[in-house]
Amino acid sequence: MISREPTIERLAVARALLLEPFGLTDASLSRALAAIATHRIDDADLYFQYTRSEGWSLEEGIVKSGSFGIDQGVGVRAVAGEKTAFAYSDDISEAALMDAAMTVRTIGAAGESRRVKVGPKHKVAGSRVLYAPMDPIATLDSTQKVALLEKVEKLARSKDPRVKQVMAGLAGEYDVVMVARADGTLAADVRPLVRLSVTVIAEQTINGEVRREVGSGGGGGRFGFGYFEDDVIESYVQAAVNAALTNLESRPAKAGEMSVVLGPGWPGVLLHEAIGHGLEGDFNRKGSSAFSGKIGQRVAAKGVTVLDDGTLPDRRGSLNVDDEGNPSQRNVLIEDGILKGYIQDSMNARLMGVAPTGNGRRESYAAVPMPRMTNTYMLGGDKTKEEIVAGLKRGLYATNFGGGQVDITSGKFVFSASEAFWVENGKIQYPVKGATIIGNGPDALTRVSMIGNDMALDTGVGVCGKEGQSVPVGVGQPTLRIDRLTVGGTA
């Protein structure tokens, strides 16, 4: 049997799902793009998408809900200068495609941008091969999915008698996209995505007072449900139970300015929010980021190297091609403390005179692309976790985070620690609750004083929101010590 090159294979799958059932051909795409380009524009594209999703949830030992959905449609975009015209339809047909094309082409009617020549022949975009083009929903049948959730619940309850309630969820998505650009470029991707989550509530009574605490765990990526073998399930459940039991023993957090040690993996969400968003091209082109105009300057302590890498195999934030048809890349944003570049989509890259970085992302066919992160992480250093904690005279050791927010312009951030410990004289004293970490992203980067050798990525749970759009992402970092952060507490 002769197999096709993976990029060609993905295009074949996309054509079979998104063009052929609706009587569309490559010539149909060319006609729509040619209609847009009759006015002066800088760029145009068509984005077709087919998404099939499924979700199951278990509570109180019973699978209480299940969902299944199919969504498909096409988004049509024209760009002239800084202006974008966009139309979309959940009706994939030549009539709907041409209606959308006629709608968006008006953007160039009064503009002064150049006229784009539509490519006479389609050319296949270069891309990666980072994950299998599978339908993950079909990798287990319904009975097996229910059994998986029941296994999670039984295992969590067996860990400790204080575990009183268990909630588990299983989700899968089969996403096929196809991009046709005005220059004739064709690109497609077949994106599997799965996630298993577990939340436990632990309870204990001390001196007649009942205390309840919550812990969570889980993960996933771009593979099938078969990934969730016993050892993986064990790690997710143990993390959730440990978090809940640890918080049962927690005391109110102390407040003040102090050194903070951040654990590896998911605490990289602070890096994502406080620094990553500030390195997105649109904010920097407009001068609204705290990092604007600082390429080549020192923005962080020596040893701090931050990457956004969409090329990591099977990772939740990875992409073979981005949502504009550009191949994903490994982008070094900060190297040894020096700002090297921003992450870019096509429009912002053109306006800033640089190349796209494979970070044009959109939530769906009904949304416009913008520069977004993929997997954002900091490289490791040469210290052990034990050395870093031992060097902390008085401060906070945060190993897990909940929600947070950041102001892109000022760089100020606020994060809540969902699992943290009080440290004195290099020794962990007790778990704390109610700690919030407050600081300024660019300033905090300059105060990184120790970097661990234990860089880890998160387990595959991240979702990033921007301007109302959500996309899957990954984060990561080693154990870090940051000096002189403000910690808000309840003690």
* CB of 420 closer than 8 Å to CB of 445: no
**What is the C-alpha separation between 172 and 77, in angstroms, rounded?**
29
Question: Could you give the angle at which helices 230-248 and 142-159 cross, rounded to 10 degrees?
Answer: 40
Residue 124's pLDDT is what? Answer: 81
| DSSP alpha helix (H) spans, 275-431 | 281-285, 346-352, 385-390
* Residue 6 CB-density burial (10 A; 0-12 exposed, 13-18 middle, 19+ buried): middle
Residues β-bridged to residue 87? 76
Q: What angle do CA 5, 315, 149 make, to 5 degrees?
A: 115
**What is the C-alpha separation between 483 and 477, in angstroms, rounded?**
17
Pick from 182, 171, 130, 181: nearest CA to 10? 130
> CB neighbours (10 Å) of residue 154?
12
**Dihedral angle of Cα 387, 391, 397, 403, to the nearest 10 degrees:** -90
**3-class secondary structure, 463:** strand
For residue 17, what is the DSSP state? H
Residues β-bridged to residue 298? 338
Q: What angle do CA 422, 204, 211 make, to 5 degrees?
A: 65
Residue 378's pLDDT is what? Answer: 98
**What is the C-alpha separation between 201 and 395, in angstroms, rounded?**
28
**3-class secondary structure, 326:** coil
Show pLDDT as tens, one digit a residue, over the chain (491 residues): 445 688 889 999 999 999 999 999 999 999 999 999 888 889 999 999 999 999 999 998 899 888 999 999 999 999 999 999 999 999 999 999 999 999 998 776 655 444 444 445 667 877 789 999 999 999 999 999 999 999 999 999 999 999 999 999 999 999 999 999 999 999 999 999 999 999 999 999 988 889 999 999 999 999 999 999 999 999 999 999 999 999 999 999 999 999 999 999 999 998 898 899 999 999 999 999 999 999 999 999 999 999 999 999 999 999 999 999 999 999 999 999 999 999 999 999 999 999 999 999 999 999 999 999 999 999 999 999 999 999 999 999 999 998 778 888 888 999 899 999 999 999 999 999 999 999 999 999 999 999 999 999 999 999 999 999 999 999 999 999 999 999 998 76
